[in-house]
Amino acid sequence: MTAVTTQRQVDDRGRTGRFPTAGPVRSRALTKLTRRLPGRLLTLVLLIAVIYPLVWLFLGSLKSQSDYLNSPSYSLPAHWMWGNYKDAWVTGNLGTYIRNSVTAVLPALALVILLGSAAGFALQVMKWRLSRTVMLLFLAGIMVPSQMILLPLFTIYFQAGLTGSLWPLIITYTATGLPLTVFMLATYFRAVPREVIESAAIDGAGIFRVFFSIALPMVRNAILTVALVQFFFMWNDLLVALTFTNSNNLRTVQVGLLNFTGEFGSIQYGPLFAAICITVFGTLVLFVALNRQVMKGLTGGAVKG
Amino acid sequence: MNEFLGNRRAIATLVGPALLIYTAVMLVPVFWTAGYSFTSGNAITGYHFVGLANFRQLLADPSVGTALWFTVRYGVVLTIGQVAAGYLLALFYVFVLRQASALVRTLIFFPIVLPTVAVALMFQNLFSIAPVNGPVNSLLNAVGYHSVDWFGSAGNAFWIIIIMDIWRSMGFYAVLLYTGLLDIPETTIEAARIDGATGLRLVRHIVLPLSFPVLLSAVIFSINGTLKVFDSILALTNGGPGSATTPLTLYMFNTSFSYGEYGYGATIALLLTVICLVVTVALYRWSRTGTPEAAQ
């Protein structure tokens, strides 16, 4: 409370210093308004810059082809063509692409979290001689660009007969997701108090029991955060998916969107915009539901990586 | 206790699977790719040893020069642009909006999670000229200017990429830097205010030096990202017009998969990796000398 009041006083003093004539209540309210106005305006401009393109996208997704081509870009749809969404989903194969993305991303995500947390636990909590070396080895992986591993993987998957399935995506996503996951989770395991682990061991719990029943539940918020970060990396990936999906019915959402116009022969703006909208608003729903964790995870990953 | 936490079999079971997959799918292929750079051919035709021919080609290839120059310009301009935009936003949150900034922070943050391809397609149409003017050209017409073919010239296309990336990332950098600004003790700022520092002087002499560590990590993160840029450029300009906006990542991809030259593609990938390594190590050392307390 005291901090707030002192701040007020300083503010007021500063203000009267700058506007020596400001005395009566009315002009003070006016100065307050003019002081706040630029901030409000700037906020408005920023929000329009971020939100307007998406509103325009949504309106475009409901326009017919001739409506989109002939009426001004800011106009509302002449007829609200909800059928564009069905076209995008069925004719545009977006339904298939989304199913492929889910099939590739969810197993990879589960594997990354399971293997990454186990490795992070062993590297951070357990005591062994090479742990620092192995950690550095994982850290090096954060720096390596995916281009450096694509060509041999292409050969391996080709030789192993995995091309023509989604396995190459699952395997590659798992491996490329591990370095950052291991590193982030290892830092979170540092916060688990030694005493808790020691007392569990004294009570007779085995090390795996300690890991699954004590350490993992204690970092479950961190796991959600890291999982969200990895989810967005995998879901939004284009490079790996483009390299390993050679047939139309294996395409993920991003590859499908990139080739979307091809499905209709020529660009059909309504269905194209509808497809973009589905992918954009799908991610948006996830973000709205879990925005605190997403923001914490993405910025946390940046500071650490 | 040491025996309990030093159980070798348990360590192997916990670290083993992750390490195995990581080694097989990332570490081994890195050296494998390095091996490919001495060969010519691809997965279908097979490979044959060509010695240093790919490296000679790399040195003489004008496309490599173009790609490197693009990567440098893109990296410098975008890093300055997005970190500066993020920092200004963060200052705006802390000093102007204060407690009211939570919703604004969240709203301006969210474009970073949107799929890059979707965002790129959206920007393509926002800036389109044919078959119909996008909103940007419509706006230009409305204030009396002619429509611009934004993707027709190298200079314009470059700036559209920058604008798109800043649109996507400014809210992200703002939140990143905002948490850094919050770490500055309130009392320090109050003390400076009482001593008469206001507005720009306060920022220049008090806030900026104190937020240097977090600015540094933002710059490092940004540079690492710009070196690896691929998705957004492929979807927005596909490297065009011509190869004016083709970074090394895309040039490697096209060489390998459009032209089937795996050997030369591997050489370009190797160059890219070496650049990433050198830049990362340089930034790491610089960040250590730049902030003495971070070296602890």
For the stretch A125-152, pLDDT in tens is 888 888 899 999 998 898 899 999 999 9
Task: Tally Cβ neighbours within 10 Å of residue A41.
Answer: 10
Candidate from A1-5, A201-205, A244-248, B70-74 with smallest mean pLDDT: A1-5
Average pLDDT over residues B126-148: 86
Candidate from A48-62, A93-107, A251-265 with smallest mean pLDDT: A251-265
Candidate from A130-134, A240-244, B1-5 with smallest mean pLDDT: B1-5
The pLDDT, as a whole number, for residue A214 is 87
How far does the CA of residue A24 sit from the closest CA of chain B (Å)?
24
Residue B181 predicted with pLDDT over 70: yes
Q: What is the pTM of this model?
A: 0.87
| Domain assignment of residue B277, yes or no | yes
The pLDDT, as a whole number, for residue A125 is 87
Residue A17 predicted with pLDDT over 60: no
**pLDDT tens string B37-88:** 999 888 777 788 888 989 999 999 999 999 999 999 999 999 999 999 999 9
Among B83, B110, B198, B268, the residue to mutate for chain A (most A Cβ within 10 A): B110
**pLDDT tens string A48-93:** 999 999 999 999 889 888 888 888 777 788 888 888 898 888 888 8
Domain CATH code at residue B233: 1.10.3720.10
**pLDDT tens string A160-178:** 999 889 999 999 999 999 9
| Domain assignment of residue B248, yes or no | yes
Domain count, chain B: 1
How far does the CA of residue A259 sit from the closest CA of chain B (Å)?
10
Tell me which fold the domain A92-304 belongs to.
MetI-like fold (1.10.3720)
**CA distances (Å), origin B50, targets A150, A206, B47, B259, B269:** 21, 56, 9, 18, 17
Residue B199 predicted with pLDDT over 70: yes
Residue B291 predicted with pLDDT over 60: no
Contacts of A65 (CB under 8 A, 6+ apart): A268, A269, A270
Burial B83-109 (b: 16+ CB within 10 A, else e): bebbbbbbbbbbebbeeebeebbbbbb
**pLDDT tens string A109-125:** 999 999 999 999 999 98
Q: What percent of chain A has pLDDT over 90?
A: 38
| Domain coverage including residue B85 | 61-295
Contact A119 B19 (CB under 8 A): yes
Q: What percent of chain B has pLDDT over 90?
A: 46
How far does the CA of residue A240 sit from the closest CA of chain B (Å)?
10
Residue B154 predicted with pLDDT over 70: yes
Candidate from A25-39, B13-27, B144-158 with smallest mean pLDDT: A25-39
How far does the CA of residue A224 sit from the closest CA of chain B (Å)?
16
Give the closest of A69, A72, A299 to B179, CB-based. A299
The pLDDT, as a whole number, for residue A18 is 40
Give the closest of B43, B118, B138 to A279, CB-based. B118
| Domain assignment of residue B42, yes or no | no
DSSP string, A144-181: S-THHHHHHHHHHHHHTT-TTSSHHHHHHHHHHHHHHH
The pLDDT, as a whole number, for residue B27 is 94
Give the closest of B5, B32, B235 to A152, CB-based. B32
Beta bridge partners, B39, equal B49
Average pLDDT over residues B128-145: 85
CB < 8 Å to A51, chain B: 107
Structure tokens at A31: 């100065």
DSSP string, B166-227: HHHHHHHHHHHHHHHHHTS-HHHHHHHHHTT--HHHHIIIIIHHHTHHHHHHHHHHHHHHHH
| Residue A25 pLDDT class (50, 70, 90 cuts) | low
The pLDDT, as a whole number, for residue A24 is 58
The pLDDT, as a whole number, for residue A304 is 54
* B110: contact with A, CB 8 A cutoff: yes
How far does the CA of residue A237 sit from the closest CA of chain B (Å)?
8
| Domain assignment of residue B191, yes or no | yes
The pLDDT, as a whole number, for residue B99 is 77
DSSP string, B34-71: HHHTTEEEETTTEEEE-TTHHHHHHHH-HHHHHHHHHH
Give the closest of B11, B116, B131 to A128, CB-based. B11
CB < 8 Å to B255, chain A: none
Task: Tally Cβ neighbours within 10 Å of residue A30.
Answer: 12
The pLDDT, as a whole number, for residue B68 is 93
Give the closest of A56, A134, A171 to B25, CB-based. A171
**Can you tell me which residue has the tokens 């943050």?**
B109
| Domain assignment of residue B29, yes or no | no
**pLDDT tens string B202-214:** 888 888 888 888 8
CB < 8 Å to B24, chain A: 175
CB < 8 Å to B87, chain A: none
CB < 8 Å to A47, chain B: 104, 107-108
| Domain assignment of residue B24, yes or no | no
The pLDDT, as a whole number, for residue B295 is 36
